[in-house]
Structure 1
Amino acid sequence: MSWLAFRQHRGRMIGMGLIFVLWGGLSGMELYAPVLSGLSAMLFPYIPLVFGVFLGAPIVSREYERGTHQFAWTQSVSRSQWFLWQVVVALSLALATTAYISTLVEFVTPEFTLKVDSDMYTLTGSVPYAWAVFAVATGLLWSAITRRTTVAMAAAFFGVAASQFIAEGMRNRSEAVSHWTAADIWILQSAEAGILLAVAAVLGLAAWWLTARRDPA
Structure 2
Amino acid sequence: MTITTTTTTETPVRVRAAVGWGDLLWLTWRQHRWVIGGTALVVAGTAAVMALVRWMALTGRIEQPLPLVVVTNGMQLVAMSAVVPWLLGMLFAAFWGAPLLAREYEQRTHLVAWSQDLTAARWLVGKLVLLGAAAAGLAAALGAVTGWMITGVNSAVDPDEGFGRSSPLVFDTAPALQVVYALFGFALGVALSALIRRTMPAVALASIGFLVVRVLVGGVWRLYYQAPLRHIQPISGSSSSYWAEVNRDAMYVQSGHLDAAGNVVEYPTDCVVRFDTEEEYDRCLTDRGIVEYFTDYQPAERMTTFQFIECLIFLVMVVGLLVLAYFRVRRSQRV
CA distance in 1, matches of 2:118, 2:149: 45
Q: Aligned-residue CA RMSD in angstroms?
A: 2.0
Q: Does 1:101 align with 2:101?
A: no
Contact 1:125 1:186 in 2 (8 A): no
Select the structure of larger CA radius of gyration: 2
> Which one has more relative contact order, counting CA pairs under 8 Å at least 6 apart?
1
Contact 1:138 1:200 in 2 (8 A): yes
Q: Does 1:135 align with 2:253?
A: no
Contact 1:12 1:55 in 2 (8 A): yes
CA distance in 1, matches of 2:26, 2:197: 24
Identity level (%): 24
1:44-193 superposed matches below 5 A: 44-110=85-151, 111=154, 112-115=163-166, 117-124=167-174, 126-167=176-217, 168-172=219-223, 175-176=228-229, 178=252, 179-193=297-311
**Partner secondary structure for residue 107 of structure 1:** helix
CA distance in 2, matches of 1:183, 1:138: 32
CA distance in 2, matches of 1:102, 1:123: 5
CA distance in 1, matches of 2:199, 2:138: 22
- Report how many residues are paired: 216
**Partner secondary structure for residue 322 of structure 2:** helix
TM-score normalised by the chain length of structure 1:
0.91
> Which blocks of at least 5 consecutive residues in structure 1 are unaligned?
none
TM-score normalised by the chain length of structure 2:
0.60
Match of 1:199 among 300, 312, 317: 317
CA distance in 1, matches of 2:42, 2:175: 21
Q: Does 1:25 align with 2:48?
A: yes
Deviation at 1:206, TM superposition (A): 0.5
